[in-house]
Chain A
Amino acid sequence: MSSGSVKVRLVSGRTLSQGRAMEKGKITQEYEDAVAICELGSKTMEALGIENGDIIVVKAALGKINVKAKLDKNLQEGMAFIPCGPYFNYLLDAYTQLTGMPGFKSLEATINAAPGAKIPTVKEITQMMKEGVK
């Protein structure tokens, strides 16, 4: 078991299950399951000493969020992927470079294993964003 932290470039984007869950409805378990995850490569998971489905904490300049680790064996080292949604946006700053578009595709972040930590529900994360919890 390693408990090191890993620095990653965090990217967000669409996934099929995120799309399906979104169509079903955002206030559903399916949506939460689809977007409260972070895809990692196998080497990154090894370095963190975690397995598919373990809870991790993702830290960026703006704050940190607990999500579930998901293995994507094709993902290269140094990269992590969180589907577009509130869990990624929680870490995202609002600077758009005067284009209207925030930087969804490149966020510097560090990841640590967080065994036993709780993943906030969609309702809870709305509240967290509202209150500006760090």
Chain B
Amino acid sequence: MTEAGNTFKDVVCTFCGCLCDDIIIETEGEKITKNTNGCAISKERFVGHMENRCLQPTVKGSAVTLEKAIERAVEIIASSKRFLIYGLSSTENDAQREAYRLAELAGGVVDNTTSVCHGPTILGAQESGETTASLAETRHRADIVIYWGANPAAAHPRHIPHYIRQPGEYIKDPKKDRQIWLIDVRETTTARMVDRFIKINPATDLEVIETLRALIRGTKLDVVEVGGISIKDLEQIATTMKTAKYGVLFFGLGLTQSFGRHRNIDAAIRLIQDLNAYTKWGLMPMRGHYNVSGANKTSTWVTGYPYAIDFARGYPRFSPGEYTAVDMLARGEPDVLLNIAADPVAHFPRAAVAYLAKIPVINIDPKFNMTSQLAEVNIPAAIAGIECDGAATRMDGLPLYLKKVIEPPEGVIPDRDILRMIIKSLEKVMK
């Protein structure tokens, strides 16, 4: 593992779905001293990996051994009727696989953070399929790139500089040969990085997309403006999209979380499908957590479904809105929550958090997070991609190997090993 001079090259950054794999990490003893090439967030992630760390397992706030913590976790799970596992987006593929095993064993529900980020993207794809691309293809071929409801400047800082504003095989000059557009309801920092910013009215994404689809078909419509854009401008946008050589549409939570949710994505997918009748287009969700894409992939390999899976009947069942974490919590359904590699207390609506506070919570995370404050059992974990190896999936579906660059703190083990310990002792209890 160790490379000469404690310098690690081509390290994959485990912050966002970009999984930039050109990071150079330098370590000295037990400290990471330098992150070269990484974005500001990446630097914080690597260099600050020991900040705010949870180093000791606790049960009801008291420090215990790892074995004791596991024992208590197993007790809680074994006595539950409706067990919910949530999280999994900030960990590696093997840990995810163990989580599905645990859910199956305990007859529980397993949901990942997809349900509050790109869940609607998957619902859209389930209705209409996917016309996708890879980031490399985009870089080498795309003469137009559109971001819709995405703010990479804040959430994926190197997306534009590392993948898009780069010369490629057929795009010699990324400034001249490639157009970058942004469509959003807010003039974000990203708006200043692109060639054209198109502002649309909030909650009109679906109308704008459907209008573009109709215009691309060559249909004349009755309306004079949609979402604050004149039909003339929309016609021009449609024409540009139709006449592009190779286009890629990246979309973010501005599309998945706004009015319409999965319907917006379904429409966007069909827009891209329509465009493929004339030229080549692909689309890609701007996945947030570095391995949320992987959570969907591993879940689908193992269970057939990407998230919101119930094993209560022994076989997997899929029902977003019913087995998704926010809905289950808000409806007061689960009697135990195992949270791993996510922070529902920080990211869930109040009612869900209020219910979560009433049930036993087992929290597995490398750092103190908001959920730790409410958890009965806290188990620290090693940070994948820094303190242990693994695999993760980039936003375009490409799996990448995560390197271990430093030893985890004393007694702290990877997520997958914690889950295996739980499974092992639960197997004994359940039999």
Chain A residues engaging chain B, CB cutoff 8 angstroms: 9, 11, 13-16, 18-21, 23-28, 62-63, 74-76, 79, 81, 84-86, 89-106, 122-123, 126, 129-132
Contacts and interface: CB of A to CB of B under 8 A. Distances in A.
Contact of A14 (B154, B320, B367): B154
B191 A106 contact: no
Contacts of B354: 129-132
Given A24-B51, A102-B116, A104-B257, A19 B368 contact: no
B207 interface: no
A16 B157 contact: yes
A106 B119 contact: no
Interface in B30-56: 40-41, 44-45, 48, 51-53
A58 to B, nearest CB: 13
B141 interface: no
Given A25-B51, A103-B257, A126 B370 contact: yes
B414 interface: no
A89 B44 contact: no
14 contacts: A11-B202, A14-B155, A20-B40, A23-B41, A89-B346, A89-B349, A94-B348, A96-B324, A100-B320, A102-B116, A102-B349, A103-B259, A105-B259, A126-B345
B426 to A, nearest CB: 26
A25 B321 contact: no
A18 B367 CA distance: 16
Contact of B321 (A9, A15, A100, A130): A100
A26 B153 contact: no
B351 interface: yes
A37 to B, nearest CB: 13
B349 A94 contact: yes
Given A28-B51, A86-B346, A104-B257, A99 B41 contact: no
Contact of B186 (A27, A81, A99, A104): A81
A115 to B, nearest CB: 26
Listed from nearest, the 9 A-B pairs whose CB atoms lie closest are: A25-B52, A100-B324, A98-B321, A94-B330, A100-B115, A14-B155, A130-B357, A74-B187, A105-B258
Given A74-B187, A81-B186, A100-B111, A94 B350 contact: yes
A105 B188 CA distance: 15
B257 A105 contact: yes
A97 B373 contact: no
B253 interface: yes
Given A13-B253, A23-B48, A81-B186, A86 B119 contact: no
Contacts of A11: 185-186, 202
A104 to B, nearest CB: 4
B48 A24 contact: yes
Given A24-B44, A94-B330, A106-B202, A126 B191 contact: no
B159 interface: no
Interface of B: 15-16, 40-41, 44-45, 48, 51-53, 111, 115-116, 119-120, 123, 151, 153-155, 157, 185-189, 191, 199, 202-203, 253-254, 256-259, 261-262, 288, 307-308, 320-322, 324-327, 329-330, 343, 345-354, 357, 367-370, 372-374
Given A102-B349, A105-B253, A27 B153 contact: no
Nearest to A11: B186
B347 to A, nearest CB: 7
A79 B347 contact: no
A92 B40 CA distance: 29
B52 A24 contact: yes
A91 B350 CA distance: 7
B350 A16 contact: no
A23 B45 contact: yes
A101 B370 contact: no
A86 B347 CA distance: 6
A99 B374 contact: no
A123 B53 CA distance: 16
A109 B154 CA distance: 24
A99 B157 CA distance: 28
A62 B354 CA distance: 13
A99 B321 CA distance: 5
Contacts of A15: 154
Contact of B346 (A85, A91, A96, A123): A85
Q: A15, A16, A19, A100 — which one has the most chain B CB atoms within 10 A of its CB?
A: A100
Given A26-B370, A76-B199, A123-B373, 12 more contacts: A13-B254, A19-B16, A26-B343, A79-B185, A93-B351, A99-B320, A100-B307, A100-B308, A102-B349, A126-B374, A129-B354, A129-B357
